[in-house]
Amino acid sequence: LRSPDFIPRQFVGGFDFVKDNNKPLDRDGHGTHIAGTIAERNGNGVGLTGLVPNAKIIPIRVLDAQGLGTARNIARGIRYAAKQKADVINMSFEFALSVNSCAKIKSVCRAIKFAAKRGSLLVGAAGNSNGEPVAYPAGAPRVLGIGRTTKDACLATASRTGAGLGLLAPGGGLPALPSCGSDDTLFSRGAPILQLTFTGRDFRTFGYPTFYEGTSMATAHVSGVAAMVVASKVLGRNPSPAAIECQLRATARKANE
């Protein structure tokens, strides 16, 4: 909320389900980075730019300063976003791979069903390890699961694949196939996703950490493009989640090999 590359009116109706108050300050840096990829301002001489700099963000905190949280708070956050009439709900987090069905996170899957019925597209991170299937909640019904590519649009290593994977998007890192992609004068093949976020504990020191790469970053890119689809009205004034997902799939291209 204190990033110099946002303006206050971009944030609407947020809530902190960790502290149970209406001041959802990111304590980790991850959420600020994700929000930046989606909606950081442009033309202001600060930082980089988000995909949809005029988008409104509903900041909802469900994870603590170590990036850990509970299924209960995540479910509450999803329901809250849906009640706030979020067009897109970005879920840049994953449960442990032992959580491999909705039976193990019933409250979260019920919340996902609730949000989808209310017209929200739910976009989830597939997980940052090799193998199949994708992690939950990305693997749950009604969620568009997102894997990651490198800067050269190659499938990245440490990205889940298989059942539940819907799309790939830029998430940084090295390619799964060593022959895919190349270095250039600005970025190596293992380049991360750069975005402005806080780098201290006082919420006043901001910079561009080089360790942010993963399906969380890829998910933010898809959420941003989904917001573009909604804003463009190419599908009408109030497109359904299914229509938005169909448009995203139809306009995607095959990853490089």
pLDDT at residue 201 greater than cutoff 80: no
User: Angle 215-232/241-250 helices, nearest 10 degrees?
Assistant: 110
Chain position carrying tokens 């910079």: 207
pLDDT of residue 204: 86
Cα distance between residue 49 and residue 47, in whole Å? 7
pLDDT of residue 202: 79
Q: How far is CA 234 from the centre of its chain?
A: 23
Helix (H, G, I), strand (E, B) or coil at 195: coil
Tell me the percentage of the chain whose pLDDT exceeds 90: 96
pLDDT at residue 228 greater than cutoff 90: yes
Letter string b/e over residues 133-160, b meaning 16 or more CB atoms within 10 A of that residue's CB:
bbbbbbbbebbbbbbbbbbbbbbbbbbb
pLDDT at residue 257 greater than cutoff 90: no
Average pLDDT over residues 237-244: 96
130 pLDDT band (50/70/90 cuts)?
Answer: very high
Cβ atoms of 227 and 38 within 8 Å: the answer is: yes
155 pLDDT band (50/70/90 cuts)?
Answer: very high
1 pLDDT band (50/70/90 cuts)?
Answer: confident
pTM equals 0.97
45: how many CB neighbours lie within 10 A of its CB? 8
